[in-house]
Amino acid sequence: MQIKPLPILAGLLAISLAICAVGAEGAADSLTKLPLPMAGAPLALFDNPNRLDAVPVCKSSSTMNFYSARSGTVSAAVSWYAAHLSGFKHVHGMGSGRSQDTFYNAGGTLIVSITGEPSAEGQDTKVYSVIYGTIQPGVTDKVIAAMNSQTAACP
């Protein structure tokens, strides 16, 4: 019996593509389990985040995954996260000459924060980084807004 390589290669390719599609569709941050932009999204992040443990946020403690951006504009990233983080609130600010956009859940325990390249307010720039984080115990809207402008708003 002679094995025909073409049907076997086609079958392996189909299986590989199916595995890649499932992996990309379900890509999530390891810390928060929130969705990561997948292939074809208007934002691309480097795969290996830097873990930042025990970052103080007022009287709370947070753990964060810091992702550097490969490509994408702030406006496109904000649109993508608005469509993929159902039920999350969004707040915009400026800190250190960079746009800061944070999405957070109602309890203030999960955040995704987009930082732009240096720019003037209202200017759409490239994304510098995205942070996925957990905060325990959760913080208020006021505290999250203050994080975006890098001002103190601790109760």
CB contact set of 73 (below 8 Å; sequence gap of 6+): 42, 124, 125, 126, 127
- The tens digit of pLDDT for each residue in 83-108 reads 999 999 999 999 999 999 999 999 99
Tell me the C-alpha distance between 20 and 15, whole Å: 9
Could you give the residue ranges of the DSSP H alpha helices within the chain? 5-25, 74-84, 141-149
Tell me the C-alpha distance between 22 and 112, whole Å: 23
Model's pTM, two decimal places? 0.82
Peptide bond into 137 cis (omega under 30): yes
